Chains A and B, each alone.
Chain A
Amino acid sequence: MQKPSTLLRSIFLVCLLLSCGKSEYSYIYREIIADVYDKQGTRAVDSSPIKYPEHSIGISMPISTVASRMQWGNTAYALSKEVFASPADRVADIRVITLNDYNANYKAGSNIVDECSFLQEGMQYTEGYSYRGPYDFSKVWDKSSMIYHINQNPMAGRNSSVVQAIALHIKPLPDYNKPQRFAIALITENNVALIDTTVSFIFKP
């Protein structure tokens, strides 16, 4: 028969060895894909008309996992583990560049990101994919809030809560019935530019 103190020591030792910390994986945005949508989520094709009040530019941002680590954390005696996602190359800036003259104030080559509203609703995320839902145009973020939201470390299952799609709405009125096209750029903290351009489309009132 073991002495109680020996038994207690053994139990304590087993608990210590079984205790789990947190698990963290790091990811990068591998590319972006920019498309123009109407309010129903229909994607614009080349030269197609879009009603200006209902437009949004959707940016898909698929990720790649680059590192994974299980840490010996402070959650002693916990038999479950927490999973955190951490960006390995954080987004530092978003740019929306007009490739054609947008209106009298914003000529081709202008960065109009400060005139954009970022839509926070309507994003649906699943394992490795994102798809679009109807946007709530009454709930919007500015650029800095959007970047903060993208970079925060979510605690969740694998890939499920990492921001992999955002959308924006351009606030100034455009020149109608003229071809419009935009380049969307995500600039990371290490000065890497992830760039894509939309199709050419036409704004209708």
Chain B
Amino acid sequence: MSKILLAAILLCNTFTANAQWLTKPKKNGKLPVRYFINIGGIYNYNKPDVPAAYSNVLTMRDNGSWYVGGNMLLTPSRSQRFLMDAALGIKLIRQQYSFVHNPATNGHRVNEQLTYTYDDQCVYLNIRIAPGYSFRLSANTRIDLTTGLSVDVLTNPDDVYREKGLFVKDGSTGYNIMPAYISTGNTFTGNNTEIQHSDVAINALADLQVAYRVNKVGMLWRKRDCRVGIGFSRFFNGNGVYSTSITTFDAQRKAKDRYWLRDKYVSMMVFAGITL
């Protein structure tokens, strides 16, 4: 965790160490950058994360999550039509899945349907770089359309990782059986038959945001810029998406079936922000 944060700070430091132009006024006297602080609510659509063939066994709930962060809106051109949005924030993504299994189907002498539900809270450091275009509605109102890449860096891999054998008592012998074994974490390999989880999860998401921006609104002791908007994102590439692999076993503990889910990070965000 500390290494991830250190790497992020170094990365930002490397990019911005010589960027004095950010605070240099343009010819019209305005600064080319606006600093916003934002909060947002995220809706994660998780239906595509589980293969349809597993729909009776493995289900993943859609969940609401939170976002808080700051962004720099760079408008270097005088007309302010073209802009660059750079954001750094924290995303809290809740993951919740259920597994339903009847051990008798694999030859166990336990004839009851078992249901297991698990809940995880993933905390991501989110970095977003997105160029865009600003549509002028009036002197002080604009629609900002930005699209680009958003990078999620998992900060709590230990909290997310889970290995768990599911044990049930066999009443006929008094011993337990292990009908299934669950492994949850962030997928390192793309092989569905043998998933390796990794503590380092850095994922790039394709990202689109539309924001309605109002400039010079009297708020909190002085005039500030405000914006509200909506964003969409989806997994693009990376090395560690949230995933679960469940293997079921027969009475001789031979692996029978394997089920898996893998988050595609399909989400919609509603956000609001004001300049500092």
Residues of chain A having any CB pair with chain B under 8 Å: 6, 9-10, 12-13, 16-17, 19, 21, 23, 26, 28-31, 64-72, 76, 88-89, 187, 190-194
> Is the contact region of chain B dominated by helix, strand, or loop, or is it mixed?
mixed
Residues of B within 8 A of A187 (CB): 175
Residues of B within 8 A of A10 (CB): 14
CA–CA, A13 and B5, complex, Å: 12
- List 10 other contacts, CB 8 Å, given A21-B199, A64-B249, A88-B163: A13-B11, A28-B253, A30-B253, A66-B183, A66-B247, A70-B198, A190-B167, A191-B175, A192-B177, A193-B175
B225 smallest CB distance to A (angstroms) = 33
CA–CA, A155 and B196, complex, Å: 17
28 contacts across the A-B interface (CB closer than 8 A): A9-B14, A12-B10, A13-B11, A13-B14, A16-B3, A16-B10, A23-B196, A28-B181, A30-B249, A30-B252, A66-B181, A67-B163, A67-B197, A68-B196, A69-B161, A69-B199, A70-B200, A71-B199, A72-B3, A72-B4, A72-B157, A72-B198, A72-B199, A76-B3, A191-B175, A191-B176, A192-B167, A192-B175
B158 smallest CB distance to A (angstroms) = 9
Q: B174-201 vs A: 1/0 string, CB under 8 Å?
A: 0111100101010010000011111110
Residues of A within 8 A of B7 (CB): 13, 16-17
A155 smallest CB distance to B (angstroms) = 17
CA–CA, A10 and B10, complex, Å: 8
Is the Cβ of B163 less than 8 Å from the Cβ of A26? yes
Across the interface, name the chain A residue whose C-beta is closest to B8. Answer: A13
Across the interface, name the chain B residue whose C-beta is closest to A19. Answer: B3
Q: Count of chain B residues with Cβ under 8 Å from any Cβ of A?
A: 37
Is B255 close to A, CB under 8 A? yes
Residues of chain B having any CB pair with chain A under 8 Å: 3-4, 6-7, 10-11, 13-14, 17, 157, 161, 163, 165, 167, 173, 175-178, 181, 183, 185, 188, 194-200, 245, 247, 249, 252-255
Residues of B within 8 A of A30 (CB): 249, 252-255
Is the Cβ of A68 less than 8 Å from the Cβ of B194? yes
CA–CA, A31 and B149, complex, Å: 49
Is the Cβ of B254 less than 8 Å from the Cβ of A64? yes
CA–CA, A133 and B65, complex, Å: 59
The 6 A-B residue pairs whose C-beta atoms are closest, nearest first, are A67-B183, A30-B253, A72-B199, A68-B196, A193-B175, A66-B181
Is the Cβ of A68 less than 8 Å from the Cβ of B195? yes
* Given A6-B17, A64-B255, A68-B194: A28 in contact with B165 (beta carbons within 8 A): yes
Is the Cβ of B17 less than 8 Å from the Cβ of A28? no
B86 smallest CB distance to A (angstroms) = 18
* Given A88-B165, A89-B165, A192-B175: A31 in contact with B253 (beta carbons within 8 A): yes
Across the interface, name the chain A residue whose C-beta is closest to B189. Answer: A68
* Given A13-B11, A17-B7, A191-B176: A70 in contact with B196 (beta carbons within 8 A): yes
* Given A16-B3, A191-B176, A194-B253: A70 in contact with B183 (beta carbons within 8 A): no
CA–CA, A70 and B255, complex, Å: 23
Across the interface, name the chain B residue whose C-beta is closest to A193. Answer: B175
CA–CA, A17 and B14, complex, Å: 15
Residues of A within 8 A of B183 (CB): 26, 66-68
A190's partner among B173, B178, B247 (CB-CB below 8 A) is B178
Residues of A within 8 A of B196 (CB): 23, 68-70
Residues of A within 8 A of B161 (CB): 69
Across the interface, name the chain A residue whose C-beta is closest to B17. Answer: A6
Across the interface, name the chain B residue whose C-beta is closest to A17. Answer: B7
Residues of B within 8 A of A23 (CB): 196
Is the Cβ of B197 less than 8 Å from the Cβ of A69? yes
CA–CA, A65 and B13, complex, Å: 43
Is the Cβ of B199 less than 8 Å from the Cβ of A192? no
